[in-house]
């Protein structure tokens, strides 16, 4: 009788443990995407970050709060919100930005994700993404390469 109760308590505790682990993993959501690798950034990215803060008219803060990831040798990658070439995610104090390898040095894509970080929003407020910085495919094409065909926003 006593050992039966103990076994039940142990099973209960174990299930509680599994449930807790499950929810911690769910809440943290801090796993990079499959195939993503940490990407060291250089002068070019810091110059682009400066440019984005300038055009957005925002303080140039938080450059080192971005963890950069690249998925090598891909044109795009699948996410819970669709196929993307770049993805910004808030991860506590930090941002995690993942870029498809083919776009790692694409000025528009990288700056677009930087602007998400500077604004700390997942959406695309037109004042910043369109009017001030032209960081959507459509506005970028119109301001830089008028003959380019338009694509969906990254
Ligand atoms: Zn975006």
Q: What is the CATH number of the domain that holds 74?
A: 3.30.2010
- Provide the pLDDT for residue 8: 76
pLDDT in tens, 58-69: 999 999 999 999
Same domain, 74 and 4: no
Distance CA 12, CA 142 (A): 61
CA 18–ligand 1 middle distance (angstroms): 35
Same domain, 93 and 61: yes
Q: Which domain covers residue 122, as residue numbers?
A: 37-144
Distance CA 76, CA 127 (A): 27
CA 153–ligand 1 middle distance (angstroms): 6
CA 69–ligand 1 middle distance (angstroms): 16
Same domain, 74 and 2: no
Asked if residue 101 belongs to a domain, the reply is yes
CA 3–ligand 1 middle distance (angstroms): 57
Distance CA 32, CA 72 (A): 13
Asked if residue 154 belongs to a domain, the reply is no
Distance CA 49, CA 21 (A): 37
pLDDT in tens, 2-29: 566 677 777 777 777 666 655 555 545 5
Query: Taking residues 143-150, what's their average pLDDT?
Result: 65
Query: Taking residues 149-154, what's their average pLDDT?
Result: 60
Same domain, 63 and 82: yes
Same domain, 85 and 19: no
CA 24–ligand 1 middle distance (angstroms): 27
∠ CA 71-128-41, nearest 5°, is 30
- What is the value of pTM for the model shown? 0.77
CA 120–ligand 1 middle distance (angstroms): 11
Asked if residue 95 belongs to a domain, the reply is yes
- Provide the pLDDT for residue 145: 67
Domain count within the chain:
2
């Amino acid at each position: 009788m006593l050992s039966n109760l103990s076994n039940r308590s142990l099973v209960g505790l174990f299930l509680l443990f599994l449930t807790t682990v499950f929810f911690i993993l769910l809440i943290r959501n801090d796993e990079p995407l499959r195939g993503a690798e940490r990407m060291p950034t250089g002068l070019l990215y810091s110059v682009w970050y400066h440019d984005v803060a300038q055009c957005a008219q925002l303080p140039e803060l938080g450059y080192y709060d971005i963890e950069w990831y690249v998925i090598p040798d891909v044109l795009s990658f699948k996410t819970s919100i669709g196929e993307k070439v770049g993805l910004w995610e808030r991860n506590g104090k930090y941002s995690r930005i993942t870029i498809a390898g083919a776009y790692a040095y694409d000025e528009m894509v990288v700056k677009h994700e930087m602007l998400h970080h500077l604004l700390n929003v997942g959406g695309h407020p037109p004042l910043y993404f369109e009017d001030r910085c032209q960081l959507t495919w459509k506005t970028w094409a119109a301001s830089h390469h008028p003959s380019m065909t338009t694509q969906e926003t990254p």
